[in-house]
Amino acid sequence: MLGKSSVFMMVLLVVAASVIGTNGVYKYVEGQGSSTPPQQPAQKATYVTGTVNRVINYASSDGKACIAVLQLPSNQPNNLKLTPGELIALLAPNESFCNLFGQSKIGKTQVLVFIAQQITASSLPRAIQADPIMMWKNYDMYRITRVDL
């Protein structure tokens, strides 16, 4: 017969194997050869180039923000599925992006790459929504997350 220590060791091995086994269960997906955990879907962002035509600055309790009106190049297609040369509005959620857009407009340099996500007017900060002029309202609106000049 087995001794008490042998039974204890077998129970310990079974418990350890079940803990290790349940740790890897979530990793298996039927039909995949990989045992990596499922990844979160990435936020859809768009990489585009363009030239700044206008920068409208806003200051509010939400913080400083601006809207830059940017013209897409007329000689190359873009991945926004917009016609080349079209104007779009870009919401820059912080002062540093606004400064970059302002400098780009003054220096007449092209924004080499920007990463943006399309948004609706209802997702804009309150100070921007309350703007009575809303010069940007006729353009497709995008929120900037990265700018390269």
Q: 128 near 68, Cβ under 8 Å?
A: no
| Owning domain of residue 131 | 46-148
Instruction: Identify the residue with better confidence: 9 or 149.
Output: 149
Residue 106 pLDDT class (50, 70, 90 cuts): very high
Q: 143 near 93, Cβ under 8 Å?
A: yes
> Do both 62 and 126 map to the same domain?
yes
> Average of pLDDT values for 52-69?
83
CA separation, residue 132 to residues 5, 64, 89 (Å):
82, 18, 17
> Do both 143 and 126 map to the same domain?
yes
* pTM of the model as a whole: 0.63
> Do both 62 and 88 map to the same domain?
yes
> Do both 73 and 131 map to the same domain?
yes
Question: Among candidates 91, 101, 71, which has minimal Cα distance to 131?
Answer: 91
